[in-house]
Structure 1
Amino acid sequence: MYLTQALHRAVQQTPDLAATIFGDRVRTWRECHDRVARLAGALRALGVEPCDRVAILALNCDDYHDVQLAVPWADAVTVPVNTRWSAAEVAFSLTDAGAGVLVVDDTFTDQVEQLRALAPGLRTVIHTGSRPPAGALRLEELVAGAEPVEDARRGGDALAAVYYTGGTTGTPKGVMLSHTNLVTAALGAAATGEFMTPGGRLLHSAPMFHLADGAGWIARNLVGGTHVVLPAFTPAGVAEAVERHRITDMFLAPTMIQMFVDSPEARERDLSSLDHLLYGASPISEAVLGRTMALLPRVRLLQAYGMTELSPTTTILTSEDHLNGDLRRSAGRAVPYAEVRIVDAEDREVPRGTVGEIVARGPHVMLGYWNRPEETAAALRGGWMHTGDGGRMDEAGYVFVVDRIKDMIVSGGENVYSAEVENALSTHHAVAACAVIGVPDPEWGERVHAVVVLREGCAAPEVEELRAHCAERIARYKAPRSVDVVDALPLTPAAKVNKRELRARYWDGSDRQVS
């Protein structure tokens, strides 16, 4: 298995089909094949050796697609860089990965000088766009001037990419994924029979540096079709793109779905071309899911659960499962290539229905963390990837994610899982989005606290109103005892709610995050 295999098949079978659409620029698979072979030749001429790391720091664009194919074509390893990081954080990833070559776009031109100073191992900068930094090579000139080279066909268990985690739980770690990891996950998801429309059009609006979008990119390459690329997510931009380009498939994180389905543009545009809406990266509330199904009644909804370390998918909730109200609260069942278990603190499998840690194994499990053998051994102990997520499994194998284990709130001696509270809270008519965290409390040890974004035109409800609303759906001790109303929830680059940032104001000055 190798990532570039799909490009050979595409140029053989559909050479004149659009491979990428970015704004008004359309490139066919024949053009893509030529660009990739030439860019790989340019990388080799620049001294890129087998296994060298080539990083890319850019907003979504068609060149991102080409770079992700050209790097393995040249027998090297891709390092997608988080576009929301500071220069210091970017430099950390470049230095940690040992990346000597960096591809940047106009957005990051002004950072290059600082990156060179902070990451002395960076020897070559390649620029895509119209405003190159001093000393940078232009990608288009490299492509035009280079001779095409043969595909190295780097594949199998060889390292394909190093994806850095978002850093919400500490210093970012480089997740090492092989070609087998990535292709297995994409093929296995496609084996569900409804993951991606063959020959269709996939919209990229989630960040391409994140594997949640990258998994869709690989799957689209495998089943054939076209990539339509937006620089970034906006509800209006997504709605316009779906109508204009007749999008068949797209991935959105739950927070993006909420913003999209609640936007006026989603109701004004023709969305009838959509076949599949895949979501994941964090739990989705039942209220948002209900509004999505009402807006898009014929669209097949699929939830993918996993993490970067799992390439990234290990369970899928199918569109048929979404028709069952009870199953909609689950993350689905193990995909064909994965084994999934729920285990206790001693890694013993627990009885069905018991909450424990979700673990998985299979050919999609990462090779390990870059240069972190101890953390790799801890995460992969016993041959299973330990997700750090708390969940339970029913008798039919459906996994219900209750929270990140570290997000569990212990209030008055009772365990409270915030995902359950968030689901109840989100059904209140005034709540557009919410997050639940534990905060210090002199009486209860930890208090269940809600941070709420209001729906447009709604007044802030009193705490007791929200408690009563939640108490109709979950045990009263789980209901929030305090509430903050904010304009927006802080998000990680993967569009998950950044609970670490929410907690900081309450736990600053404390030497621990529990009470």
Structure 2
Amino acid sequence: MYLTQALHRQVRQTPGLPATIFQGRTRTWAECGDRVARFAAALLDLEVRPGDRVGILAHNSDIYHEFLFAVPWADAVVTPANTRWSPAEIAFSLVDSGTDVLLVDDAFAPMVPTLREQHPGLRAVLHSGTGPAPDGALDLEELIAGHDPVPDACRGGDQLAGIYYTGGTTGRPKGVMLSHANLLTSALGSAATGAFMVPGGRYLHAAPMFHLADGAAWATCNALGGTHVMVPGFTPAGVAAAIQEHRVTDVLLVPTMIQMLVDSPDAADADLSSVRHLLYGASPISVALLERAAKRLPAAEFTQAYGMTELSPVTTILNPADHAVDRLRRSAGRAAPHSEVRIVDELDNEVPRGTVGEIVSRGGHVMQGYWNRPEETEAALRGGWMHSGDGGYMDDEGYVFVVDRIKDMIVSGGENVYSAEVENALAKHPAVAACAVIGVPDPDWGERVHAVVVPTGAERPAIEELRGYLKEQIAGYKAPRSVEYVDALPLSGAGKVLKRELRKRHWADTDRSVS
């Protein structure tokens, strides 16, 4: 299996059908195939060699789609950069992965001097857009036009396809290594449910394309011969307009985005009746939101996917029919066709049904490991199972219910936030003697990043000051949205902060400890 296989198939079978639609520009599969082969030729001319890492720092576009094909066509590895991260975090991911070549669009061109300074090993920068190019950058369209197509290297199977960075429990992002077989196993298994996408339909990239949730949907759409419709980023008005204009059949959103779409006055008059599948993840959907969404998208079926980057990313699926059953709407569904799921205790023994333990999964979708982190890889993949760090239980029908997080992670608005990253940055503030970061319930974001701070003296900075300070070090979405000051943090006998005690009063009236 290789990711470019779908491109070859579409060029042969449906060369004249649209492959991509973006900002008034439509490209057919034949045009896409030609551009990808020329794009790959340009990479080879830049001395990209087998296994080299090629990065992209850009918003959603048809160029992003071509990049995801061109890099493996040139026998290289993709390293998508998180557009929401700070320059320091992005630079770390580029240095850590050893990214040799980077593609940027207009939005991120001004960041290039900083990235070059922090990553001297960056050999070449490509620019796509109409604005000013960074000094020394190469124009992508000129490169594509100036090169003849080259044959596909057919990089595939267990060869590395991409390194996808996720938050780190120790305060540094870690690169998840996924093969072509990993990504295609997850995509084809999800497609096999029949609850993901319309074959030959139109999928809207509203979620960021650097994120593996959208990346998996990209691979699924390719496998099913669909058309990719892109908007640069999520806005209710932009998504609604794209759905109406291009008769989008499938879209992936997190519950926070769904809420914004169905409640926004800017999207109220749009015709959303073409949508057949609304995919969501990161957290369950409330009954009230599900009812509002069903009214606004009358033809849509709702499917929840649960997983993580390390699982390429899907491991369980809550099908449309399950959404009609009250008790199941709080579940994460059952194991997907390509996945096996168990609930285990601390010794990795499977626990009885209904007993809370750690959710683990195995199958062809499980990552190869963490880039340059053998010890963390061994711990996560012990016994051949990916240990999710999520606590949950399984009922007698195999439905999985997530009730807590064993790993110290918060999911806010669909983004993973590791407490250690925030705490490391927050602890540098002169007014902070000690701190702990937890997730608390939030009606808009599912969970809100919340800081509990022991001050160094009488000064108690407002949340706005703390957020401004933190945004210089970490992405804005990781910065706490609320803060409370305490005289001391609760500690265990070993001196570890008892975060469960800090969370208890915030989650006391809920049936879970996470959203």
For the superposition of Structure 1 and Structure 2, which TM-score range results when normalised by the shorter chain? Answer: 0.7 to 0.9
> Is 1:285–2:286 an aligned residue pair?
yes
CA contact (8 A) 1:342 1:350 kept: yes
Q: Aligned residue for 1:400?
A: 401
Change (3 A) 1:67 1:301: same
Letter in 2 for 1:65: H
CA contact (8 A) 1:168 1:500 kept: no
Q: Aligned residue for 1:257?
A: 258
* Cα distance in 2 for residues equivalent to 1:236 and 1:278: 19
Q: Aligned residue for 2:154?
A: 153
* Cα distance in 2 for residues equivalent to 1:501 and 1:440: 10
> Is 1:435–2:447 an aligned residue pair?
yes
CA contact (8 A) 2:57 2:102 kept: yes
> Is 1:233–2:234 an aligned residue pair?
yes
Letter in 2 for 1:334: A
Change (3 A) 1:440 1:140: closer
CA contact (8 A) 1:21 1:62 kept: yes
Change (3 A) 1:438 1:126: closer
| Aligned pairs (5 A) from 1:274-313 | 274-313=275-314
Q: Aligned residue for 2:387?
A: 386
Q: What SS does the aligned partner of 2:93 have? A: helix
> How many angstroms does 1:352 deviate by?
0.6
Letter in 2 for 1:158: Q
Q: Aligned residue for 2:190?
A: 189
Letter in 2 for 1:36: V
Q: Aligned residue for 1:27?
A: 27
* Cα distance in 2 for residues equivalent to 1:97 and 1:312: 20
Letter in 1 for 2:402: V
Q: Aligned residue for 2:422?
A: none
| Aligned pairs (5 A) from 1:159-198 | 159-167=160-168, 170-198=171-199
Deviation per CA, 1:74-106, whole angstroms, max 9, x where unpaired? 000000000111221111111100011000011
> How many angstroms does 1:137 deviate by?
0.4
* Cα distance in 2 for residues equivalent to 1:279 and 1:246: 19
* Cα distance in 2 for residues equivalent to 1:94 and 1:243: 38
TM score, norm. by length of structure 1: 0.82
> How many angstroms does 1:227 deviate by?
0.4
Unmatched 5+ residue regions in structure 2?
411-437, 455-462, 490-495, 502-515
* Cα distance in 1 for residues equivalent to 2:477 and 2:109: 28
* Cα distance in 2 for residues equivalent to 1:266 and 1:200: 22
| Aligned pairs (5 A) from 1:74-223 | 74-130=74-130, 131-167=132-168, 170-223=171-224
Q: Aligned residue for 1:365?
A: 366
CA contact (8 A) 1:439 1:507 kept: no
* Cα distance in 1 for residues equivalent to 2:487 and 2:91: 27
* Cα distance in 2 for residues equivalent to 1:47 and 1:24: 34
Q: What SS does the aligned partner of 1:326 have? A: helix
Q: What SS does the aligned partner of 1:268 have? A: coil
Q: What SS does the aligned partner of 1:20 have? A: strand
CA contact (8 A) 2:344 2:359 kept: yes
* Cα distance in 2 for residues equivalent to 1:507 and 1:167: 26
Q: What SS does the aligned partner of 1:157 have? A: coil
CA contact (8 A) 1:252 1:280 kept: yes
CA contact (8 A) 2:55 2:103 kept: yes
Moved more, 400-409 or 125-134: 400-409
Q: What SS does the aligned partner of 1:501 have? A: coil
Q: Aligned residue for 1:465?
A: none
> How many angstroms does 1:109 deviate by?
1.1
What's the C-alpha RMSD, in Å, of the aligned pairs? Answer: 2.7
* Cα distance in 2 for residues equivalent to 1:434 and 1:174: 26
Q: Aligned residue for 1:501?
A: 480
Of 497, 507, 511, which aligns to 1:512? Answer: 497
CA contact (8 A) 1:40 1:73 kept: yes
* Cα distance in 2 for residues equivalent to 1:10 and 1:181: 22
Unmatched 5+ residue regions in structure 1?
410-417, 443-483
> How many angstroms does 1:497 deviate by?
11
Q: Aligned residue for 2:55?
A: 55
Q: Aligned residue for 1:413?
A: none
CA contact (8 A) 2:62 2:230 kept: yes
> How many angstroms does 1:169 deviate by?
6.5
Letter in 1 for 2:36: V
Change (3 A) 1:360 1:225: same
Letter in 2 for 1:397: G
Moved more, 255-264 or 359-368: 255-264
Letter in 2 for 1:512: V
Identity %: 64
Deviation per CA, 1:52-83, whole angstroms, max 9, x where unpaired? 00000001111000011000000000000001
Change (3 A) 1:361 1:72: same
Q: Aligned residue for 1:330?
A: 331
Letter in 2 for 1:212: A
> How many angstroms does 1:512 deviate by?
3.1
Q: Aligned residue for 2:41?
A: 41
